[in-house]
Amino acid sequence: MTSTEVTDQGLFPAEHRALRELYATARHLERHWSRLAGRLGAPAAVPLWAGAHAVGALLAELDTRAATYRLHGFPAAVGAGGRLADARNALGDLFLERNQALRLAVLDVQHIRILLGYCAMLAETRGDAALAEFHRRWETDLEEVEAGARTAAIEQGRDPQGAIEPAQPGALGRVGQRIGAAVGTAGEAIDASAAARAARRLGGR
Protein backbone atom coordinates (compact mmCIF):
# COMPACT_ATOMS: atom_id res chain seq x y z
CA MET A 1 0.00 0.00 0.00
CA THR A 2 1.29 3.50 -0.76
CA SER A 3 1.11 6.36 1.72
CA THR A 4 -1.41 8.17 -0.47
CA GLU A 5 -3.95 5.42 0.15
CA VAL A 6 -4.50 6.35 3.78
CA THR A 7 -5.76 9.50 5.46
CA ASP A 8 -3.73 11.77 7.70
CA GLN A 9 -4.93 9.62 10.61
CA GLY A 10 -3.32 6.54 9.04
CA LEU A 11 -6.66 4.99 8.04
CA PHE A 12 -8.13 4.06 4.70
CA PRO A 13 -10.75 6.63 3.63
CA ALA A 14 -13.27 3.78 3.64
CA GLU A 15 -12.16 2.88 7.17
CA HIS A 16 -12.50 6.46 8.36
CA ARG A 17 -16.08 6.61 7.10
CA ALA A 18 -16.90 3.18 8.49
CA LEU A 19 -15.67 4.10 11.96
CA ARG A 20 -17.79 7.23 12.00
CA GLU A 21 -20.76 5.15 10.86
CA LEU A 22 -20.03 2.74 13.69
CA TYR A 23 -20.16 5.61 16.17
CA ALA A 24 -23.50 6.80 14.78
CA THR A 25 -25.20 3.41 14.51
CA ALA A 26 -24.01 2.26 17.93
CA ARG A 27 -25.30 5.45 19.54
CA HIS A 28 -28.57 5.01 17.69
CA LEU A 29 -28.99 1.47 19.02
CA GLU A 30 -28.07 2.43 22.56
CA ARG A 31 -30.66 5.21 22.72
CA HIS A 32 -33.39 3.52 20.70
CA TRP A 33 -33.20 0.16 22.51
CA SER A 34 -33.20 1.87 25.91
CA ARG A 35 -36.38 3.76 25.11
CA LEU A 36 -38.02 0.81 23.37
CA ALA A 37 -37.33 -1.33 26.44
CA GLY A 38 -39.18 1.21 28.55
CA ARG A 39 -42.13 1.11 26.19
CA LEU A 40 -42.41 -2.66 25.80
CA GLY A 41 -41.69 -3.70 29.37
CA ALA A 42 -40.85 -7.25 30.49
CA PRO A 43 -39.97 -9.73 29.16
CA ALA A 44 -38.92 -8.04 25.91
CA ALA A 45 -37.18 -5.24 27.81
CA VAL A 46 -34.57 -7.57 29.32
CA PRO A 47 -32.52 -8.26 26.15
CA LEU A 48 -33.05 -4.68 24.98
CA TRP A 49 -31.60 -3.22 28.18
CA ALA A 50 -28.73 -5.73 28.04
CA GLY A 51 -28.02 -4.84 24.42
CA ALA A 52 -28.08 -1.10 25.08
CA HIS A 53 -25.64 -1.58 27.97
CA ALA A 54 -23.29 -3.72 25.85
CA VAL A 55 -23.25 -1.21 23.02
CA GLY A 56 -22.60 1.56 25.52
CA ALA A 57 -19.46 -0.34 26.53
CA LEU A 58 -18.54 -0.70 22.84
CA LEU A 59 -18.86 3.07 22.39
CA ALA A 60 -16.64 3.76 25.40
CA GLU A 61 -13.92 1.45 24.13
CA LEU A 62 -14.28 2.70 20.57
CA ASP A 63 -13.72 6.24 21.80
CA THR A 64 -10.41 5.22 23.37
CA ARG A 65 -9.29 3.23 20.33
CA ALA A 66 -10.27 5.86 17.78
CA ALA A 67 -8.53 8.62 19.72
CA THR A 68 -5.17 7.01 18.89
CA TYR A 69 -5.97 7.75 15.23
CA ARG A 70 -7.12 11.30 16.05
CA LEU A 71 -10.65 10.27 15.12
CA HIS A 72 -13.42 11.45 17.41
CA GLY A 73 -17.05 10.46 17.20
CA PHE A 74 -18.30 13.19 19.46
CA PRO A 75 -20.08 15.41 18.84
CA ALA A 76 -20.75 14.98 15.12
CA ALA A 77 -21.06 11.21 14.54
CA VAL A 78 -22.51 10.36 17.93
CA GLY A 79 -24.83 13.35 17.65
CA ALA A 80 -26.08 12.10 14.31
CA GLY A 81 -26.80 8.71 15.82
CA GLY A 82 -28.66 10.32 18.69
CA ARG A 83 -30.77 12.43 16.36
CA LEU A 84 -31.59 9.36 14.27
CA ALA A 85 -32.65 7.51 17.40
CA ASP A 86 -34.73 10.46 18.57
CA ALA A 87 -36.51 10.61 15.22
CA ARG A 88 -37.17 6.91 15.28
CA ASN A 89 -38.35 7.00 18.88
CA ALA A 90 -40.66 9.91 18.13
CA LEU A 91 -42.02 8.76 14.77
CA GLY A 92 -40.71 5.39 13.63
CA ASP A 93 -42.26 3.25 16.37
CA LEU A 94 -45.45 5.30 16.45
CA PHE A 95 -47.04 3.33 13.61
CA LEU A 96 -45.72 -0.07 14.67
CA GLU A 97 -47.14 -2.92 16.66
CA ARG A 98 -45.06 -4.37 19.48
CA ASN A 99 -43.95 -7.36 17.41
CA GLN A 100 -42.96 -5.16 14.48
CA ALA A 101 -40.92 -2.76 16.61
CA LEU A 102 -39.05 -5.62 18.28
CA ARG A 103 -38.33 -7.46 15.04
CA LEU A 104 -37.02 -4.29 13.42
CA ALA A 105 -34.85 -3.62 16.48
CA VAL A 106 -33.01 -6.89 15.79
CA LEU A 107 -31.86 -5.38 12.49
CA ASP A 108 -30.06 -2.61 14.43
CA VAL A 109 -27.62 -5.03 16.03
CA GLN A 110 -27.26 -7.08 12.84
CA HIS A 111 -26.21 -3.89 11.05
CA ILE A 112 -23.59 -3.16 13.70
CA ARG A 113 -22.20 -6.70 13.64
CA ILE A 114 -21.83 -6.62 9.85
CA LEU A 115 -20.21 -3.19 10.09
CA LEU A 116 -17.77 -4.48 12.72
CA GLY A 117 -16.81 -7.36 10.42
CA TYR A 118 -16.27 -4.90 7.58
CA CYS A 119 -14.15 -2.64 9.81
CA ALA A 120 -12.11 -5.65 10.90
CA MET A 121 -11.39 -6.59 7.31
CA LEU A 122 -10.33 -3.03 6.49
CA ALA A 123 -7.98 -2.91 9.48
CA GLU A 124 -6.58 -6.32 8.59
CA THR A 125 -6.00 -5.26 4.99
CA ARG A 126 -4.12 -2.23 6.29
CA GLY A 127 -2.01 -4.50 8.51
CA ASP A 128 -3.45 -3.26 11.81
CA ALA A 129 -3.89 -6.49 13.76
CA ALA A 130 -4.77 -4.78 17.05
CA LEU A 131 -7.66 -2.76 15.62
CA ALA A 132 -8.87 -5.75 13.61
CA GLU A 133 -8.94 -7.82 16.81
CA PHE A 134 -10.99 -5.13 18.56
CA HIS A 135 -13.62 -5.17 15.82
CA ARG A 136 -13.78 -8.97 15.63
CA ARG A 137 -14.05 -9.31 19.41
CA TRP A 138 -17.02 -6.96 19.51
CA GLU A 139 -18.61 -8.64 16.51
CA THR A 140 -18.48 -11.89 18.49
CA ASP A 141 -19.55 -10.31 21.79
CA LEU A 142 -22.66 -8.82 20.20
CA GLU A 143 -23.74 -12.22 18.87
CA GLU A 144 -25.35 -12.91 22.25
CA VAL A 145 -27.11 -9.54 22.15
CA GLU A 146 -28.50 -10.32 18.71
CA ALA A 147 -29.61 -13.80 19.80
CA GLY A 148 -31.40 -12.41 22.86
CA ALA A 149 -33.30 -9.81 20.87
CA ARG A 150 -34.13 -12.33 18.14
CA THR A 151 -35.50 -14.79 20.69
CA ALA A 152 -37.60 -12.06 22.32
CA ALA A 153 -39.03 -11.11 18.93
CA ILE A 154 -39.94 -14.70 18.14
CA GLU A 155 -41.44 -15.22 21.60
CA GLN A 156 -43.93 -12.45 20.84
CA GLY A 157 -45.80 -15.17 18.97
CA ARG A 158 -46.79 -16.71 22.32
CA ASP A 159 -48.99 -13.66 22.97
CA PRO A 160 -50.91 -13.00 19.74
CA GLN A 161 -53.03 -10.24 21.24
CA GLY A 162 -50.17 -8.46 22.96
CA ALA A 163 -48.03 -8.75 19.82
CA ILE A 164 -50.33 -6.43 17.89
CA GLU A 165 -50.69 -3.81 20.60
CA PRO A 166 -49.08 -0.42 19.83
CA ALA A 167 -45.34 -0.22 20.47
CA GLN A 168 -45.92 3.37 21.60
CA PRO A 169 -48.08 3.30 24.73
CA GLY A 170 -50.95 5.69 25.34
CA ALA A 171 -53.27 7.63 23.09
CA LEU A 172 -50.53 8.54 20.60
CA GLY A 173 -49.69 4.91 19.98
CA ARG A 174 -53.35 4.02 19.50
CA VAL A 175 -53.68 6.76 16.88
CA GLY A 176 -50.61 5.45 15.10
CA GLN A 177 -51.96 1.92 15.22
CA ARG A 178 -55.27 3.04 13.67
CA ILE A 179 -53.40 4.85 10.89
CA GLY A 180 -51.28 1.76 10.24
CA ALA A 181 -54.36 -0.46 10.18
CA ALA A 182 -56.10 1.94 7.78
CA VAL A 183 -53.12 1.84 5.42
CA GLY A 184 -53.12 -1.97 5.57
CA THR A 185 -56.87 -2.11 4.89
CA ALA A 186 -56.47 0.21 1.92
CA GLY A 187 -53.69 -2.01 0.57
CA GLU A 188 -55.87 -5.09 0.91
CA ALA A 189 -58.70 -3.32 -0.94
CA ILE A 190 -56.34 -2.36 -3.76
CA ASP A 191 -54.99 -5.91 -3.99
CA ALA A 192 -58.54 -7.27 -4.20
CA SER A 193 -59.66 -4.81 -6.87
CA ALA A 194 -60.40 -5.76 -10.46
CA ALA A 195 -57.45 -3.66 -11.67
CA ALA A 196 -55.09 -5.54 -9.37
CA ARG A 197 -56.44 -8.90 -10.49
CA ALA A 198 -55.89 -7.87 -14.12
CA ALA A 199 -52.35 -6.73 -13.31
CA ARG A 200 -51.59 -10.08 -11.67
CA ARG A 201 -52.91 -11.95 -14.70
CA LEU A 202 -50.71 -9.88 -17.00
CA GLY A 203 -47.78 -10.50 -14.72
CA GLY A 204 -48.40 -14.23 -14.67
CA ARG A 205 -49.24 -14.31 -10.93
Quick check: 191 pLDDT over 80?
no
151 pLDDT higher than 70: yes
What mean pLDDT is predicted for residues 111-125?
97
* Between 189 and 155, the higher pLDDT residue: 155
pLDDT at 172 over 70: no
Closest to 120 (Cα-Cα) out of 140, 105, 104, 99: 140
Assess whether pLDDT exceeds 60 at residue 146.
yes
The domain spans of the chain are: 3-168, 169-205
| pLDDT greater than 50 at residue 68 | yes
**Domain spanning 3-168: CATH superfamily:** Ferritin, core subunit, four-helix bundle (1.20.1260.10)
DSSP characters over 120-162 = HHHHHHTT-HHHHHHHHHHHHHHHHHHHHHHHHHHHGGG-HHH
With a CB cutoff of 8 Å and minimum separation 6, the contacts of 77 are: 20, 21, 23, 24, 27
Overall pTM > 0.75? yes
Could you tell me if 24 and 86 are in contact, meaning their C-beta atoms sit under 8 angstroms apart? no
Which pLDDT band holds residue 196 (cuts at 50, 70, 90)?
Answer: very low
Give the pLDDT band (50/70/90) at residue 81: very low
Confidence of residue 94 (pLDDT cuts 50, 70, 90): confident
Identify the CA nearest to 51 among candidates 66, 72, 36, 39: 36
Q: What is the mean pLDDT of residues 29-49?
A: 95
High-pLDDT (> 70) share of the chain, %: 71
Indicate the average pLDDT of the chain: 81
**Please, which pLDDT band fits residue 30 given cuts at 50, 70 and 90?**
very high
Q: Rounded to whole angstroms, how far apart are CA atoms 94 and 191?
A: 25
More confident residue, 127 or 200: 127
At 9 the pLDDT is 84
